[in-house]
Amino acid sequence: MTTNAATDPMIGRMIDHRYRVRSRIARGGMATVYLATDVRLERRVAIKIMHGHLADDQAFRERFIQEARSAARLSHPNLVGVYDQGAEDDTAYIVMEYIPGITLRDLLQEHHALTPEQATDILRAVLAGLASAHRAGIVHRDLKPENVLLADDGRIKLGDFGLARASTQNTATGAALLGTIAYLSPELVTRGAADSRSDIYALGIMLYEMLTGEQPYKGEQPMQIAYQHANDTVPAPSAAVPGVPPELDDLVAWSTARNPDDRPRDAREMLDHMAGNQQRATGQYRTAVLRPENATAILPAGAGTPASADSGDATTILEPAAAQQPAARPGRNTPGPRRTGSQPGALSPAGQRLADKSAKRRKRGWIVLAIVVFLAIVGGTIGWALGPGPWGNVRIPEVAGKSISQARQLLEAQGLHTAKATSTRFDAVVAKGQVSTTKPAAKREVRKGTSVQIVVSNGPKMIALPAIVGQPISTVTAALDDDFQLQDDQYQFSADAPKDTVVAATGLGTDGTTVDLSKVETYGERGPVTLTVSLGPVPDVVGKNVDQATAALDAVDLTLGSQDARFDDDVPEGQIISAKAQDDPAVKGTAIDVVVSKGPTPITLPDVHGKTINEATSTLDNLGLKVVVPDCTNILCGFYDWKSSLPVSSTDPVAGTTVHRGDTITLAYEQ
């Protein structure tokens, strides 16, 4: 891919005062590779520059630097060399050896499949480079045709150690599987762990693809391909392409064994095995340049046996006896060609032998031409009969996921016969009632007219579910992991469930709807399961001030939301009266809205002057105020209800003063 400065600002830029960027070679997920000139050493290099939007991500920067460190530790003719690594203006880069040519992926797209000789030559070169990495304790983890470079001068090199890790370190990938799904080993799919045997598995898949032109596993979703890696056996290449030597079938089977212990332990063991096979097979895979049978040999004088009529097919140029004497200029007295006998035009014995040989060769040439034409006609006839003709082979098409009628149409269109009776099997990927596979399997080459049986999916095998809701997440995960596909856990706050216990479990029904797994007894094998785990209750912030509430919520990844204020006669000013989550149920990041107390409600003291003591007391009691009335000291007060008769003359505090519920008001009156 080419570009210019108008579309890529890196074109023409000088990096680190040394590398002049010339053009763009390729662009990937983490970085872009450019062709550049090292102005200091005056050589072309490839410079890999991390994408700008990833520069602030520490994890990506560390992975990018790891690639340079991993590759720089290695030196091998079949590995791309790393010259330099650095950063400028937040731009991280790696300087590498520039390899003009194509990738193995380009070669496969152009030729579809390779010959056994080509495939083994490429595999041998990749294994040699990979053996150097394995010997240094480095696992590549991203082997695929895109990372195998075929130089214009015939060199084969392995590059892109962007996912490499030291094999002595923990190579588990966690929740995210790194690498290309089509080449992931079963242990990477199921456990997320990789070692040198994982690289061997990827090489086995690459060898199958080189020999057949296709990857062994296909699917519309990555999970379908991953499931096949974990549960199926890679078929023999000869089943798809007749003529593949059995030694290569065995090599694919050995390197792609599902159990890592059944594979070569590293690239060196696999390379040594290939070398041993080649010696035993007397060069079966080696392309040799043979000397032509009818070669022309120029023999110097005295270097061999003199030519005779029985010297075979090799043409021998004999030096004339006159070569020992000075050459004479032709003239009137110079003799012409030496002739023997008295017959006109007779040749010398040596000349006659040359003439006889030429005639014999011309005759042989016509015979060879006739044989070639005859063989071409016969070969063409046989090729037509075995190809589009009645004796031809066809490849069984992929019909998984189709309806039965669609599958029959596709099979019969290839000249195959479909058996009337169908069989069934459990299938965790293909929906019930659709075609699961065929017998023989898809991609097999068979003779036209072969009977093919359609195998219909019964849907996934139903498996009894253990107790889930209310159980610890560790217990539930261990019980479900072998039979189902556990998705990323979801978390929520719950007042009813302790922290780290499962509060809900959901799956997918055959119609794609969500299924509450706590309400069913069985569920389909390998079906997706999403567990919802309790984070415990939302912290109680009622009675706390705003700062205390903020700290309590931050500790569990919640945030303080809106803050309303209101008067409250029971909650002191500044304390939280109530709290409510904006989401129900609350999850991490949910905002908690609160109501903060402004203290007791203010009251303007009414004017009760002139009202009787009882009337004034009733008015003030209704406002939540406490009333104090001094005792009457007049002797007459004992003879009548003086509180119902005597008027209030004043209050303390005076009318119009701001008071609050519970405050005390003293009434004055004239005795």
586: tokens are: 């609350």
Residue 496 in contact with residue 476, Cβ under 8 Å? no
Residues annotated as part of the active site: 142
| CA distance linking residue 92 with residue 88, whole number of Å | 7
- Half-sphere exposure (CA, 13 Å, Cβ side) for 32? 20
- The values of phi and psi at residue 616, to 5°, are -65, -40
Which residue in this structure is represented by tokens 């004055």?
A: 668
| DSSP3 helix / strand / coil % (the chain, rounded to 5) | 30, 25, 45
Closest CA to 179 of 211, 205, 216, 213: 205
Report the SS3 class of residue 401.
coil
Strand partners, 491: 533
Q: Which residues contact 410 (CB under 8 A, 6 or more apart)?
A: 397, 399, 402
Let me know how long the chain is.
671
3-class state of residue 255 by DSSP: helix
CA-wise closest residue to 418 among 458, 446, 460? 446
Residue 261: partners with Cβ closer than 8 Å, 6 or more residues away: none
Tokens 């015939």 found at? 154
**Residue 369 three-state SS:** helix
Asked whether the beta carbons of 525 and 460 are under 8 A apart, the reply is: yes
Q: What are phi and psi of 375, to 5 degrees?
A: -65, -35
